[in-house]
Amino acid sequence: MNFLFSGSVLEGEVLVGERVTVRDKTTVAKSSIGNGCMIGSNVSIRESVLYDNVKIGDNCQVVGAIIAGNVSVGSDVVVNPKCVLGDDVQIKTKTNLPPETLLVAQP
């Protein structure tokens, strides 16, 4: 079961997996959201792919990015175009990732 909270919008072609939660005042446009994702309030996700079990904090912007499985993005984060976040990456609060950033988790 998916949960789309008040004031949230899915625009254009959006693929949404199972057990996805989208909090209030969030926009997802032309993107794919994997199973078990949790997306915070006041978030904008555009032209991006989120794999399974991704957590996006409140007040984030994700544009033209690929976010692999089990990634956690803190609140007030900007993920700019052509960023790729590998499996299990964790992004701290109030981070602005420059375009074309590639991050992988340390083993």
- pLDDT tens figures, 29-67: 999 999 999 999 999 999 999 999 999 999 999 999 999
Residue 1 has pLDDT above 80, yes or no: no
Query: What gap in Å lies between CA 94 and CA 27, rounded to an integer?
Result: 20
Residue 5 has pLDDT above 90, yes or no: no
What average pLDDT does the chain have?
96
**Total number of domains constituting the chain:** 1
Average pLDDT of 10-21? 96
Domain that holds residue 23: 3-103
Average pLDDT of 23-32? 97
Query: What gap in Å lies between CA 89 and CA 91, rounded to an integer?
Result: 7
User: What is the DSSP pairing of strand 66-67 with strand 49-50?
Assistant: parallel
User: What is the DSSP pairing of strand 102-103 with strand 84-85?
Assistant: parallel
Query: What gap in Å lies between CA 70 and CA 59, rounded to an integer?
Result: 19
Average pLDDT of 12-19? 96
CATH number at 98 reads 2.160.10.10
Residue 107 has pLDDT above 80, yes or no: no
Q: Which of 28, 32, 31 is nearest to 4 (CA)?
A: 28
Going by pLDDT thresholds of 50, 70 and 90, the confidence category of residue 27 is very high
- Side chain identity, residue 61: Q
Q: What is the pLDDT of residue 37?
A: 98
- DSSP state for residue 81 in the 8-state scheme: T
Residue 3 has pLDDT above 90, yes or no: no
Q: What is the pLDDT of residue 65?
A: 98
